Structure 1
């Protein structure tokens, strides 16, 4: 096969997209067919995702994609990790909670009373993050959890609605805290010890396997002709797993940063790193495509800047982000470098006020203008990225000589340059659409459009989406 087309459904924490990919041995083109906002909703019991509304937008995007490109062979779905929907008799038991909802705190206490994090890390290999799925399960209404027939992570839930097949994709399952890092299977002993119903966890499926085909009801909704039912293929459904597929790494001495709302900073390993040093350094072992391990640390990411901009806009100040970043680059005086991973920056709220409070507590001069706040955020992220990349290399046995930044953060030239400066190694920026590209590449290989190893897929990305190079400056 010389070329073929597939469709990627890429759901992010702030927006979703349907993207058509045309793929061949020397071709990797994308067309964004639909883009729609992903706005959380605060209800009486907490912060939720409007997943039903987003699914409606997904169907609309797929309808347009299939009308514009009738020969689409496959559809793949990726999204953020850890969040899930509860189903009984195919009905959704309320909109899924948002991982930034405050309820997770009581879940942490409940889990750690039964098993401390050091023991958990030896089993699941995960950095402590208070929103991991096992803490959310522990914070869930026990009666509701017992009532559920399935607890499906977000991309698995969308896949279920498309096909009627309930499976849990492995890369995303690895973020739940309920998968053993050494075997890649559900940890039945841990699930039982925490008192969760094992029955809600669906059988596992690997990237590249076929989840099913579009159901007749969905096909009718999309206006498909009789007998035409594109496959729904499991991809690296954790968006970072898909993004790492499309990092154009040509050297083993490389670190990656998948930078958007979060900054996922790490190296690729062939086995989990479950050492005390990895746990103390707050690294996590997450599943990757083709059985690779993503040894990484979650850094707060561009969420802090985005939330600061939203706050200023709510106050009536129109903010143009490129203009703000240009002003930030012109700031010549030193600015505060703060700890971006301080828990105060996790929930929505007034980021400039929180940065000011952090500075006052640590005896550091706080920014005063919006340009200084933006520069302070960029410098703080760059330092966190540089530190995490080199530490990932030390923990994972990789001599980091280059850092790849993919995702939306690759467009932020100031952030890329300052990361190179602070890390002392070149930064290669791009592709921006790495998550969608990784989703598309796994589907294309499964459909027989491409063949070969992960390295051959990355070589195609490097040839068709050349990154921008940022050399470190003194």
Structure 2
């Protein structure tokens, strides 16, 4: 018989309710409901509307209930690092900050005066980014000391949403590790780092593994949505953790790029890699599903082209922007995508143009020139990160799996193959939802292992292959890219 689970997959710009069917060792998915998600600005700060998100989740579940079919379980994944604070009555004690808020722009330096960054990395294995949870809650306490008296429970956003479904409090491993507050050696919250923020370790709930059955859908949610009783399962609640579960790899050595708003490039490892060189290159060791670690690096990703699309009032689709880029001359201008100026500028197009002026390059003007600049720069960033991965892991990697929405960008996929000189396999597109579903089916005993899940995904969806081409221009412009700051 076919078995059905529901994946709630929420990203920085949208969320989806997806029904996943497993029948005769084949996956099929159906998008039941889609909704928007955006940061909002208030008095100079950026927040998430959590009430809106949960309301949309229940709206999506109402739509699923209209299908008249039974689901075994449900699980939620979202982005990482952002958090919710509850009081003793389980009410939120403050608005939910968004990681692109500027309040942490200078916070890392303050924290480093209290604890050596080398020690932080040795404890957590997490790359240094200004929006990591440790810096967010440090700044939160600094600006509102009263929060220390009111906060009784800390949870990451997907854990909070799973709590609203199940009434069970926990923080799932893949997301806990992103906080830079979780000791990756002791596999527990790190008291010293938490104390630096001003908080007490006691407000941090137990950390659970991916695939933990939290409980059942509450009676209140059942009544609100029309659904029958079903299990609530914590998947890999960090969306990248779920996405990596779905990598359709059958060989041992491969790199992956989870391509969406961010490009997360890395490898799967049985152990963290917390060497001095890994710290120098700013690699992170995020928890993975089923006793794995995601040794990866954050690259700014398709946020750049998403902002360009927005500034053109959505006149052009992503496919059209990629087509314009393909028609534009190569290597006219490059940027360093990871420069912090591109994290949340007022105008991405102007920021790219100003960067090119400052670095004495051709200034892109047309949509195609701007898009070409972004895609070539991202592909060079992939090349740089891959070389670093090979160095710190001592693995000979010649295959890259691109998963997520960015797998649809044929130009960027080919540039990635050409610039890295690796075979590139693109797909599945719905990687995060599939990984979420796969973990649920493993928890239910319908799939035996991560290895079997990946084999099922490989046989259920089209995966496109890109063969690397050689060009002398690539090496010449690679040297130019490496000189950019």
Question: TM-score if structure 2 supplies the norm length?
Answer: 0.93
The alignment status of 1:390 with 2:387, answered yes or no, reads: yes
1:251 Cα offset (Å): 1.2
1:106 Cα offset (Å): 4.4
Provide the rounded CA distance (Å) in 2 between the counterparts of 1:182 and 1:24. Answer: 39
Please say if residues 86 and 150 of structure 1, whose CA atoms lie closer than 8 Å, have aligned partners that are also in contact: yes
With over 3 angstroms needed to count, the CA separation of the structure-2 counterparts of 1:402 and 1:195, relative to structure 1, is: same
1:107 Cα offset (Å): 3.2
Select the residue among 404, 422, 426 that pairs with 1:425.
Answer: 422
1:8 Cα offset (Å): 0.3
With over 3 angstroms needed to count, the CA separation of the structure-2 counterparts of 1:205 and 1:333, relative to structure 1, is: closer
Please say if residues 9 and 17 of structure 2, whose CA atoms lie closer than 8 Å, have aligned partners that are also in contact: yes
The equivalent of 2:74 in structure 1 is 75
List runs of 5+ in structure 2 lacking aligned partners.
471-485
Please say if residues 401 and 426 of structure 2, whose CA atoms lie closer than 8 Å, have aligned partners that are also in contact: yes
The equivalent of 2:479 in structure 1 is none
The equivalent of 1:180 in structure 2 is 183
Please say if residues 283 and 295 of structure 1, whose CA atoms lie closer than 8 Å, have aligned partners that are also in contact: yes
Select the residue among 152, 155, 158 that pairs with 1:152.
Answer: 155
The equivalent of 1:132 in structure 2 is 132
The alignment status of 1:467 with 2:466, answered yes or no, reads: no
The equivalent of 1:46 in structure 2 is 45
- Residues paired across the two proteins, number: 466
**TM-superposition CA deviations, 1:240-285 (whole Å, max 9, x none):** 0000000011112210000100000001111011100000011000
Q: Which moved more, 1:187-196 or 1:46-55?
A: 187-196
The equivalent of 2:14 in structure 1 is 15
Which runs of structure 1 show a deviation greater than 3 angstroms over 4 or more consecutive aligned residues?
A: none
**TM-superposition CA deviations, 1:198-243 (whole Å, max 9, x none):** 122111111111111111111111124xxx4211001100000000
* Paired residues for 1:48-447 under 5 Å: 48-88=47-87, 89-140=89-140, 141-224=144-227, 228-313=228-313, 318-447=315-444
Q: Which moved more, 1:107-116 or 1:258-267?
A: 107-116
SS at match of 2:8: strand
**TM-superposition CA deviations, 1:17-58 (whole Å, max 9, x none):** 000000135210000000000021111251001111111000
With over 3 angstroms needed to count, the CA separation of the structure-2 counterparts of 1:348 and 1:229, relative to structure 1, is: farther
Provide the rounded CA distance (Å) in 2 between the counterparts of 1:468 and 1:3. Answer: 28
Please say if residues 3 and 449 of structure 1, whose CA atoms lie closer than 8 Å, have aligned partners that are also in contact: no
SS at match of 1:289: coil
Please say if residues 399 and 425 of structure 2, whose CA atoms lie closer than 8 Å, have aligned partners that are also in contact: yes
Provide the rounded CA distance (Å) in 1 between the counterparts of 2:218 and 2:21. Answer: 24
SS at match of 1:103: helix
SS at match of 1:172: helix
**TM-superposition CA deviations, 1:325-358 (whole Å, max 9, x none):** 2111011253212100000000142112111222
Please say if residues 309 and 315 of structure 2, whose CA atoms lie closer than 8 Å, have aligned partners that are also in contact: no
Provide the rounded CA distance (Å) in 2 between the counterparts of 1:215 and 1:26. Answer: 31
Please say if residues 107 and 137 of structure 1, whose CA atoms lie closer than 8 Å, have aligned partners that are also in contact: no
**TM-superposition CA deviations, 1:414-464 (whole Å, max 9, x none):** 11010101001111000000000000011011112221x211111111111
List runs of 5+ in structure 1 lacking aligned partners.
none
Provide the rounded CA distance (Å) in 1 between the counterparts of 2:138 and 2:300. Answer: 24
Q: Which moved more, 1:246-255 or 1:192-201?
A: 192-201
Provide the rounded CA distance (Å) in 2 between the counterparts of 1:129 and 1:333. Answer: 31
The alignment status of 1:455 with 2:451, answered yes or no, reads: yes
Please say if residues 48 and 97 of structure 2, whose CA atoms lie closer than 8 Å, have aligned partners that are also in contact: yes
1:373 Cα offset (Å): 0.5
1:389 Cα offset (Å): 2.3
Provide the rounded CA distance (Å) in 2 between the counterparts of 1:183 and 1:256. Answer: 27
Please say if residues 209 and 233 of structure 1, whose CA atoms lie closer than 8 Å, have aligned partners that are also in contact: yes
Provide the rounded CA distance (Å) in 1 between the counterparts of 2:295 and 2:330. Answer: 36
Provide the rounded CA distance (Å) in 2 between the counterparts of 1:138 and 1:185. Answer: 19
Please say if residues 174 and 184 of structure 1, whose CA atoms lie closer than 8 Å, have aligned partners that are also in contact: no
1:65 Cα offset (Å): 1.5
1:6 Cα offset (Å): 0.3
Please say if residues 255 and 393 of structure 1, whose CA atoms lie closer than 8 Å, have aligned partners that are also in contact: no
The equivalent of 2:483 in structure 1 is none
Provide the rounded CA distance (Å) in 2 between the counterparts of 1:320 and 1:336. Answer: 22
Provide the rounded CA distance (Å) in 2 between the counterparts of 1:145 and 1:375. Answer: 48
The equivalent of 2:477 in structure 1 is none
Question: TM-score if structure 1 supplies the norm length?
Answer: 0.95
Provide the rounded CA distance (Å) in 1 between the counterparts of 2:347 and 2:105. Answer: 21
RMSD of the TM alignment (CA)? 1.4
